[in-house]
């Protein structure tokens, strides 16, 4: 393997989720087809792509491909997504940014000896930003 290609999430509202990921995490539009309920967002610096697809059973979610996939809630299929940040200073800057745009979070905390910041997207998917252990 050469790296992570993308993470694909079923969401209830592609537009709302795309706005959240853009504002909260600084992702930008990479590709989209709103007629089928699909948006791909990327973070240039981290080379991370998150694909948001309309959850099966919602307005655009009944395509043949999605109809064959057994769906579960985020808590049943995914614990969380964790993104690395450079250091504790950067993590505190993220916390300030999230507070400024109204994204709820408990602030920077220590988890497994690493500073982290935990939040949830509009569908309840847990997102974590993690800094390396301070030396």
- Residue-number span of the structural domain to which 43 is assigned: 1-71
Same domain? 14 vs 79: no
Same domain? 7 vs 54: yes
pTM value > 0.85: no
Same domain? 51 vs 95: no
Same domain? 7 vs 52: yes
Cα–Cα dist 55/17, whole Å = 12
Same domain? 59 vs 86: no
Same domain? 43 vs 94: no
Cα–Cα dist 52/67, whole Å = 16
Torsion of CA 88, 92, 97, 102, to 10 degrees: 130
Q: Which of 71, 91, 119 is the last residue before a domain boundary? A: 71
Per-residue pLDDT of the chain (135 residues; tens, 9 = 90+): 667 778 999 999 999 999 999 999 999 999 998 888 899 999 988 889 999 998 877 554 444 444 434 445 544 557 789 999 999 999 999 999 999 999 999 999 998 888 999 999 999 999 999 998 877
Distances in whole angstroms, Cα of residue 27 to Cα of each of 59, 114, 123: 25, 24, 17
Instruction: Count how many domains the chain has.
Output: 2
CA neighbor of 106 nearest in space, from 97, 95, 114: 95
Same domain? 61 vs 91: no
Same domain? 5 vs 31: yes
């Amino acid at each position: 393997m050469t790296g992570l290609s993308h993470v694909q999430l079923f969401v209830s509202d592609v537009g709302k989720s795309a706005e959240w990921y853009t504002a909260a995490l600084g992702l930008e539009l990479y590709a989209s087809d709103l007629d089928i309920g699909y948006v791909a967002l990327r973070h240039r610096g981290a080379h991370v792509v998150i694909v948001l697809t309309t959850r099966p059973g919602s307005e655009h979610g009944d395509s043949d491909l999605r109809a064959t996939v057994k769906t579960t809630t985020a808590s049943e299929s995914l614990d969380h997504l964790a993104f690395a940040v450079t250091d504790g200073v950067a993590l505190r800057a993220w916390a300030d940014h999230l507070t400024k745009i109204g994204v709820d979070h408990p602030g920077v905390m220590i988890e497994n000896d690493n500073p982290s910041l935990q939040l949830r997207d509009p569908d309840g998917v847990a997102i974590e930003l993690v800094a390396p252990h301070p030396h």
